[in-house]
Chain A
Amino acid sequence: MSQYYLIQDQKRCIGCLSCEVHCKSNKGLPLGPRLGQIIRVGPKMVADLPKQAFVFMPCFHCEEPWCVAVCPTGAMHKRPQDGIVFVEPSLCVGCKACISACPWGAPQWNPETGKTVKCDYCMDRVDQGLEPACVSKCVTHCLSFGKADKPELTRRERFAKAAALEVENL
């Protein structure tokens, strides 16, 4: 796995799809590829309330990425220093092996260049100490990005607060 995590706080996500456009406009992508995509699940009735989830699917930057293993030219590779999996366009021949191999559907086809394009956590931004575009501009700040060895506390804190509130209201 890469050293980083990109976590989505489902409770705060409103499925506004801004993350998708932040990504596409930052990368200047044409119609077609969606490097990170929100998949809507639901709505369905849960305990008399309509519930739906919006699941954000960027690349997971796997420890042993199948897309890298199948790439015949070495275009798809993993950055040694931090594990970000990315495609080097000058080496990509557009064979789509990575697209077939990835169990998560992360690599995307760019019809303008005839090559693969995929989420690279906006590594140019990461290298400048910034966050990926989707995270930086998320409408509700429901996406967070960080080093995996620094734990993300939002959800534990929320649970603890809710529990405390219940105690208060007893």
Chain B
Amino acid sequence: MAKEIYSLCFMCTVRCPIRVEVENDEVTWIEGNPHVPGIEGALCAKGSAGLALLNDTERPQHPMIRTGPRGAGQWRRASWEEALDYVADKLKSVIQEHGPQSFVFGERTNLNTHISKTFMKALGSPNHFTHDALCKGSVNTAFRSLTGYSDAEVGIDYANTRHIIMYGRNIFESLEIKAINNLLDAMDKGAKLTYIDPRVTVTASKAQRYWQIRPGTDLALNYALIHTILKEKLYDKEYVNCWVEGLAELQAFVEPYTPAWAETETGIPASEIKALAREAAAVKPAVVFHYGYRGSLHVNEIYLRRSLVILNALMGSIEAKGGLFFKKGPKAVGLGDVGKYTDQEFPKIDFPRFDGSGREAFPITDSSHGNAQMLAQAILNQDPYPIRAALFNRFEPLQSIADSGQVRRALHKLDLIVDIDVNYSEIAWYADVILSESIYLERSDSLMVVSGLKPQLFMRRQAVPPRYDTKPGWWIIKELGRRLGVGQYLPFETIEDIWNLQLKDLGVTIQDFYGKGFVALSDKPILWNRENGLKFKTGSGKIELVSPLLEKAGFPSFPRYEPVPAPPEGHFRLSVGRCAVHTHVSTQNNLYLNELVPENELWIHPQAAERQGIKDGDPVEITSPVGTSKIRAKVTDFIHPEMVFMLHGFGKTVPAQSRCYLKGASDALLQENLSDKVGGSPAYDETLVQVKPLK
């Protein structure tokens, strides 16, 4: 008998709503939730390949305990009782001997993060950290420094924009289905797309204006845009007078940064820079200077991200139709907040975080996420204290943190490495214990709150029983907590217990989700009144161009622009990105996705390739100050000659993932571990590499 289940995809972190058809406990069909505007059945390649993941035999099928050396792939099967007891016993002795702070837990933010954080708080460790800073720590800090809100509290009104300017935000390959459809609809109605990237992407080929900017110089372009906007008084005067503080200081600062100056630095003609400023201003406030999805390229990353937010502020497009908006949650419609286990009282934690977040290393970064890039240094230097045990869930330290060779050497020092995983990831293979996790089709999770113009709640609901001996992550954490004596902080047995806690102040019941998979809390978009109702969370209640957050920490609001030198002869700036069929590091072994993109290639400009004696398709060796790897060259005009590019997430070394084993190069192996110390992101694009034909 066929049945339909509404749920949430989890092939990537976007978590699109899906409708799943099930017959005799087999998934027969997955599609985008037809009831959700902007989705209407649509599903990406990764979403449909969820079926291949479900049926894949090349994923952990039961708990496993290591029997040989780390990474050697020698395992024995364990029951859940045994594996959980084993992990809990080891953790107990680590905590007893070295204190709770010596235990760290890294995960990619997910619906159950409130449970993971509860677990760590209950144990007395300050060291729960997420992947967030690696992706966009500096975007987060940039937004907070100007508006008091983090980037996660801001959205983009793609559907009504009239001009969107994207800086390497490759929206048509790094997919969010709803956003894409809203943008394509807007473009159908005449909205303009300007795309700026040293590399031609699919997004570049859909744009009405494309600039192949010199790598690393976007900030120079933005200073010249701001210069032009202020000089020609193109900004939204009413909005700026009302809501922006520090315009005079900004104007004085950008005075020397003329379009002619920027032309030399960026390679973009001054006349075109001026034309963009004028065109954008002509449709303000329905204009978006996209602040980026990933923002972790350079050591001054926060200043690029700030310049983008400032451009939006000047256009009056913050909290505007067709611009940016602050996301509205259940409270905005007069409801209570969504319940979380972290709302409980916890024992006081006396230790600082391991990663320097909120202290000297990263004084103003978001400590609710931490700074994962510090993991290896903290372990190796025992700074600020020894770390002896690590738990990971959906977090890949060996492919997400730069200089993965160093990360591997650091992890080797630990007494215990545990990985909760749906894949034989690099870290799973290097762990002492793999706790096999059910995939999203086999489990229910905490409810998802989608704050936005119209707040909504969505439910991930189990579609089929687990194929193998796997469990949901929240159950695993609860069982570990119980064994470690903190079970009282995790007072749930079933997913319904979790849902009921989340819903208790919302006047919504579990059954309300079953019909369409979601509950809308408002039918009208909520925008605050631009004359008197904007609620910036800064001291002045306005957008603060001169930022007390930065200045009090000893950082300037407007640092002088540092020119970006061209790489020395024979060197290239290494840049990475994504394609539409893979998710970061997690799908390279999927049967269907691997078939479409089985390995990454190194994009290199023909002039550079010729000088190095490299022809299209040649295997090449790529060397950075920290690593060496092999990859095939793709010689193309459509990349700036100073840069080479590869897709993120390849070069895997786990034989159990036979389809992607040793295919392509690992970017993390080559990248140097540098950071924007102000904003908190790593600076992945600072690494210079050399490329030569492989003999």
Contact = CB atoms under 8 A, between A and B. Distances in A.
**B-side interface size class:** 35 or more
Contact of B31 (A17, A52, A137, A158): A137
Contact of B180 (A20, A52, A139, A165): A139
Interface string A13-50: 01111101110111000010000000000110000011
Contacts of B180: 14, 139-140
Nearest to B212: A50
A141 B51 CA distance: 21
Contact of A17 (B190, B206, B210, B596): B596
Given A52-B202, A140-B184, A18 B40 contact: no
Contacts of A137: 31-32, 41-43, 47-48
Given A16-B581, A17-B596, A137-B48, A50 B210 contact: yes
A15 B202 contact: yes
Residue among A43, A138, A165 with the highest chain B CB neighbour number at 10 A: A43
B184 A12 contact: yes
B41 A140 contact: no
Residue among B30, B48, B172, B591 with the highest chain A CB neighbour number at 10 A: B48
Interface in B415-440: none
A161 B185 CA distance: 13
B49 A21 contact: yes
A165 B190 contact: yes
A24 B46 CA distance: 12
Given A50-B205, A50-B638, A21 B593 contact: yes
15 contacts: A12-B184, A16-B175, A17-B580, A18-B44, A21-B46, A31-B595, A43-B205, A49-B205, A50-B638, A137-B32, A137-B42, A139-B181, A140-B42, A140-B181, A161-B189
B29 interface: yes
Contacts of A141: 40, 42, 181
B205 A139 contact: no
Interface of B: 29-32, 40-49, 51-52, 172-173, 175, 177, 180-181, 184, 188-190, 200, 202, 204-210, 580-581, 591-593, 595-596, 638
A111 to B, nearest CB: 12
A21 B48 contact: yes
Contacts of A26: 29, 48
Contacts, number: 100
A43 B200 contact: yes
Nearest to A166: B190
Contacts of B41: 136-137
A25 B181 contact: no
A21 B181 contact: no
Nearest to A29: B592
A43 B49 contact: no
A164 to B, nearest CB: 10
A51 interface: yes
A22 B46 CA distance: 10
A51 B205 contact: yes
A30 to B, nearest CB: 8
Given A16-B581, A21-B596, A52 B205 contact: yes
A16 B203 CA distance: 11
Interface string A52-68: 10000000000000000
B205 A16 contact: no
Contacts of B188: 158, 161
A17 to B, nearest CB: 5
A55 to B, nearest CB: 14
Contact of A25 (B177, B200, B581, B592): B592
Contacts of A138: 42
Residue among A18, A139, A161, A165 with the highest chain B CB neighbour number at 10 A: A139
Given A18-B45, A140-B184, 19 more contacts: A16-B175, A16-B580, A17-B580, A17-B581, A18-B44, A18-B47, A20-B596, A21-B45, A22-B45, A25-B51, A26-B29, A26-B48, A43-B638, A49-B209, A136-B41, A137-B47, A137-B48, A139-B180, A140-B181
